Amino acid sequence: MKDVQVEQPGTKPGDPVLTPEEFAKANEIYFQRCAGCHGVLRKGATGKPLTTDITKKNGYEYLRDFIT
């Protein structure tokens, strides 16, 4: 059952689903590269807020293209 992936609330069909390992790595990267400006709670500091009410509205493709 550990390989079963369930869609997360608020995602569209086809959006990628992170495994727990991928989520842990993404979290590590955020704290290394992003938290300094966007804040530990993603509410913004010197950078814009990245809270889910904003990021989910823009969608996965927007975020992927913006980040990469």
Question: What is the structure's pLDDT at 5?
Answer: 56
Question: What is the structure's pLDDT at 32?
Answer: 94
Question: What is the structure's pLDDT at 50?
Answer: 84
Can you tell me whether residue 13 is helix, strand or coil?
A: coil
pLDDT < 50 positions in the chain: 1
Question: What is the structure's pLDDT at 8?
Answer: 61
Number of separate helices (H) and strands (E) present in the chain: 3, 0
Question: What is the structure's pLDDT at 4?
Answer: 56
